[in-house]
A and B are shown apart, each in its own frame.
Chain A
Amino acid sequence: MVRFENVGLRYGLGPEILRDLNFAVPAHSFQFLTGPSGAGKTSLLRLLFLSLRPTRGLVNLFGHDVSLLSKDEIAALRQRIGIVLQDFRLLDHMTTYENVALPFRVMGRDESSYRREVIDLLKWVGLGERMDALPPILSGGEKQRAAIARAVIGRPHLLLADEPTGNVDPTLGRRLLRLFIELNKSGTAVIIATHDIALMDQYEARRLVLHQGRLHIYE
């Protein structure tokens, strides 16, 4: 599903922050991406999400060499990827329901075709009573769950999550992890970037550890 070969990344003329990355993410797999702060986890996620291009090496996603993709093709591929960012990126003028339903809306689907699915998921993540609330009045944890719901609503082939449990209490953290596991069981490959050891200890999964720009894999 994802293959990196000798991938390197630098910003501008700065030092290479990711070096010689060689790894693959098989379909239906589950992995944690970890490493100290500033190790390049977010940059690697951005490479996986096609919002950054590598300065060298080959990135192959869903069978496509990403360096050869047009903007429209990248947009189409992104519809198969769900992403949860640390800063949530919810649209403040839209309700929680509308934010979560946004991927379907962008696909051009009719509201009646996805309404039940979105409401079910919002209930699932504990936002059933908050679906008409605007993000500015949601708590940090609620925003995080809304962002996760938006990422998973389209049942993506690949889910990328950057510190998805960073703003929630341990109980809710476990619930959210459970959601990722369920999603993985239904066929989605999951990569969770975190430095929360407690979270990783809750589920036996492959660990990709970034250290000084290099990736070490613990199966």
Chain B
Amino acid sequence: MNRIEDQHDALMDLGHERPQVPAKARNLSPIVPRASIAGRALVAVVAIMTFLASITTGAVLLISASASEWQSEVASEITIQVRPVAGRDLERDVVAVTEAIRSQPGVVEVRPYTKDESAKLLEPWLGTGLSLDELPVPRLIVARIAAAGGLDLVDLRRRVRELAPSASLDDHRAWIERMRSMTGATVIAGLAILALVIVATIISVSFATRGAMAANRPIVEVLHFVGASDRYIADRFFRHFLMLGLQGGVIGVGAAMLAFGFSESIATWFSGTPVGDQFAALLGTFSLRPLGYLALAAQGVLIAAITALASRRTLFATLNAID
């Protein structure tokens, strides 16, 4: 028995009337409102982390480039030191050794330091107007060796010893080794800082994602009610986090690039001044090569991608806990 008999009374009868609202395309609201995600704080965190990572990478690249510059300069030289000893003519020994080196295959150029040049080297410590004849000052011979190699150092060392027993030959190997280990340590420290920055970024992003999911839990539940899969829901949130990560990455890398560009400008302004010269001697040209800037940009993209992936992982983990 159906007690509802008058359908027109019970129902809102549309009859042949069509809706008054024009059936035009609507701009649909996003399912997850952007304002519901604490975006600014996350962008700031990602930007700061990216900036720190970029500065670290840039510094490591600068140090590595300067170190390899020094190494290649130093490795292409050998230095022979001839000490004055009683009973030997220093000038003659220097000439003999210079000739021996010059005739050695693999040597490109030999330059013995004259007495005046040696005095100039000592000038910062001993002052001017010094007569080296009164002091047992050793004499230096600097030889530039071919980059392709071919120099028999053992043979050269033996010949130098024969010609001047007081002479010693230094190919700077120990110094280069120390330089290499210092550069290696710097790179490892840089990588460690990068790893810490990335871990901190992942943790921050995970917290932000969990916060956003908690704030939007009613939306997640309604989406579940209407039959949305976890993938669908995660995608709605993921878009926001990808955009936030990219924004943070661009700001961080942009700021780091500006910082390096500004430092280069400062180095250029000071070039020619004593401060600038000392700076250049220590850090070379203090400029990132185009590849360096490219590496910073790639790193920004990487951090944005890590942000997105960390957020995605947290999204699925949180969705698993909500039903």
Q: Which residues of A contact B (CB under 8 A)?
A: 49, 51, 71-72, 75-81, 83, 85, 89-91, 93-95, 97-98, 101-103, 105-107, 111-112, 115-116, 119-120, 122-126, 128, 131, 150, 174-175, 177-179, 181-182, 201-204
Contact = CB atoms under 8 A, between A and B. Distances in A.
A124 B14 contact: yes
Contacts of A123: 12, 14, 19
Given A72-B230, A111-B28, A115-B25, 17 more contacts: A75-B227, A79-B227, A85-B225, A93-B36, A97-B26, A102-B226, A106-B226, A106-B228, A115-B26, A119-B21, A124-B12, A175-B11, A177-B10, A178-B4, A178-B10, A203-B2, A204-B2
A141 to B, nearest CB: 13
B225 A83 contact: yes
A125 B10 CA distance: 11
B3 A203 contact: yes
Q: Which label, helix, strand, loop or mixed, suits the secondary structure of the B interface?
A: loop
Nearest to A150: B226
> How large, as a class, is the contact surface on chain B?
35 or more
Nearest to A179: B11
Contact of B19 (A51, A102, A111, A120): A120
B3 A111 contact: no
Interface of B: 1-4, 7, 10-12, 14, 19-21, 23, 25-26, 28-29, 31, 33, 36, 218-219, 221-232, 320, 323
A13 B320 CA distance: 22
B229 A94 contact: no
A91 B11 CA distance: 26
Contacts of A175: 10-12
B222 A89 contact: yes
A179 B4 CA distance: 11
B29 A177 contact: no
B53 to A, nearest CB: 35
Nearest to B228: A106
B12 A125 contact: yes
17 contacts: A71-B229, A75-B224, A75-B232, A78-B227, A80-B227, A91-B31, A91-B219, A98-B26, A98-B29, A111-B25, A111-B26, A119-B21, A124-B12, A201-B3, A203-B3, A204-B1, A204-B2
B319 to A, nearest CB: 8
Residue from the set A106, A107, A131, A174 with the largest chain B CB neighbour count within 10 Å: A106
Contacts of A72: 229-231
